[in-house]
Structure 1
Amino acid sequence: MPKAPLPPDVAELFARPNPAVVAVLMPSGAPMAVATWYLVEADGTVLLNMDASRARLEWMRERPEVALTALKEGEWYTHVSVRGRVVRWEDDPEKGLADIDRLSRHYGGQDYRVRDRARVSCWVEVTHWHGWGEAKAD
């Protein structure tokens, strides 16, 4: 698995609003995966944002290693998978749900509609990546 950073063409594909799945480790050590939105920040970290009631938040705080796979829209064969570690946490309500709004605009063009639930953001530093199809490493 190549180390970060991603090559420019792979980074451009990964920065799109792709369907994605994030995998985390449960306390037992078993993996758990769930569909998610993500956003690649200017510094290369990956923003994830979750409802504050989700069990995976505590699991990620205890074991901050995560994996994320993004599938090219309409062409699942081309995908980019990254591994990394959560390097920062922030409560989104303190910022007026700014992070979930950025994600929602990235994926759907409008602010997030659910405004009465606490949310938490985290940023993942990408350490390794793997691609397939158009994103395959040479």
Structure 2
Amino acid sequence: MPKAPMPQDVAELFRRPNPAVVAVLRPDGSPMSVATWYLLEDDGTVLLNMDAERARVAWMRERPEVALTALEEGNWYTHVSIRGRIVRWEEDPERAMADIDRLSNLYGGQDYRVRDRRRISCWVEVSHWHGWGGAKADR
């Protein structure tokens, strides 16, 4: 698995609003995965945003290592997977919804519709990446 950073063409693919799944570790060490929205930030970190009451938030705080796979829309043979560590957490102040709105606009073109739940953001520092199909490292 190549170390970060990703080559520019792979990063461009990863910047798109692709279907994605994030994997986290449960307290017993077993993995758990869930579909997610993500955003590759300009500094190379990956933004994830969750309902603050989800069990995975506590699990991720305890074991901040995560993996995320993004599949190219319409061509799932091409995909990019990253591994990394959560390096920053931010509570959503006063339900401002800034981060979830950024994600919702990227994926759906409008602000996030659920406004009555507390949100939390985290940023993953990418340590390794792996690509397949059009994102393959040794092409």
1:38 aligns with 2:4: no
Question: Identity, % of aligned pairs?
Answer: 81
1:57 aligns with 2:31: no
- Structure 1 segment 81-120 matched on structure 2, within 5 A: 81-94=81-94, 96-120=96-120
Label 1:95 to 1:42 Cα distance change in 2 as closer, same or farther (>3 A).
farther
Ranges of 4+ aligned residues in structure 1 off by more than 4 Å = none
8 A Cα contact 1:19 1:37, kept in partner: yes
Aligned partners of 1:119 and 1:75: how far apart in 2? 31
Stretches of structure 2 lacking an aligned partner (at least 5 in a row)? none
Offset at residue 93 of structure 1 (A) = 3.4
In structure 2, the partner of 1:3 is 3
1:18 aligns with 2:15: no
Root-mean-square deviation over aligned CA pairs: 0.8
Aligned partners of 2:113 and 2:104: how far apart in 1? 9
8 A Cα contact 1:92 1:100, kept in partner: no
TM-score after normalising by structure 1:
0.98
Task: Tell me how many residue pairs correspond in the alignment.
Answer: 138
Stretches of structure 1 lacking an aligned partner (at least 5 in a row)? none
Amino acid of the structure 2 residue aligned with 1:55: A
